[in-house]
Structure 1
Amino acid sequence: MLEISIFDTFKMSNQLTGKAKRQRKIIKIIGGSSVPDQRTKVEISKKVGIENEQSWKNSYSGVYEDIEKIFLPQRIIEEEGKIPVRRGPRLLQKEGTGYYKLTKIGKLLLFGIGDKIDIDFREYTDETNLGADLNSLYETNQELCFLLIENYISMNCVNREEILPIKSKKFSQTSSQKLTCDLDFLRSMLAISKEEQEKVLEILSRIDSKH
């Protein structure tokens, strides 16, 4: 059972909660930096604090709780190593402070929240054909692939269900409505002229910008 808040929204506005934004930021920081120093709790807290326009010390408790109580126990991240510390308690100086990396679950979550990282879906499913099909879709249309994966991950996160390995039956159940909608849209677009297509896209872009 995967318990994570990255898709949690306020009921009235449908906007992401503060916790959802913080957890997304943590995943993006850990997945987006190759420098160990940038992936410690303190450095992550500093980046979260900057985004929230607050002191890193005010962000630290939330970051600490997400890492220690949610991300590590659920194997979303894992400690990659220790960095020596020159200040603070002697025990901390002796042992060093941990820095983290994303696990396979964490990388799929990173992809699902909008970071189009290079990914081989054959490593995320035990069904060879499904992995190959998702790879082909990603090569052909990254945006559609992202939308389907995002929908799959969000539905499983909301339902507190595991996201790995990706199973064709579950993927089909969570993505069928989205895929049907996209296919209907594609068919309707192909049935009209290029000028009409551009007009429809312009209208949709204006509508989307209002949200």
Structure 2
Amino acid sequence: MKQENVSPFFATLKAANPLPMTELEFTTVFELLAAVLLSAQATDVGVNKATRKLFPIAGTPKAMLELGVERLEGHIKTIGLYRMKAKHLIETCRILVEQHGGVVPRTRADLESLPGVGRKTANVVLNVAFGEETLAVDTHIFRVGNRTGLAPGADPYEVEMRLMKRVPRQYLADAHHWLVLHGRYVCVARTPRCWECAVIRYCDYRPKTPPPGARGIAATVGDRT
């Protein structure tokens, strides 16, 4: 993607969704951290279904710790890798209670020291909860960054570093959400829905053949003018 196309790319995404938000449901920073930890290799829909019943009874590190691994497993067993996630979440709660007074820390180093919390999870918490200009590269953003030519990279870290250099400052705080949603609903993995794409003219991806009967943007799917 040409540099001159980056700003209008994000301006278009912003116009379509001025106030993007995570689709994970939470009411506190701890609930956000727990939800993101549980969302690894799982859908937000599946996580929300489990946490709607979990958070009312275990919405703090202390309450979650008191719940214990086995009972926690019972609440999240519909989520992939639930046994490992339950163990990580309980150990994370133990550290939060014993070392941080039950409060989620706001530094990357402290967040990444928690079991099951990697760079992506830390970036989400720093961005969504604390308003920092970070970019958490999940499978959707990795795909969009490479496919569109916005930020090609061999691994999530490389894509993140390229995005941090290319995304204009005024769009950086919300870029994560725009790119995730774009990858989740339009620039999907198997057959990107180019005929529905509002930023098609800025994208490097080829081919862009609309399906039979597609309308709207499909009429000019190859038009970059």
- Give the TM-score normalised by structure 1: 0.32
TM-score, normalization: structure 2?
Answer: 0.31
More strand by share: 1
Whichever of the two has the greater Rg, that structure is: 1
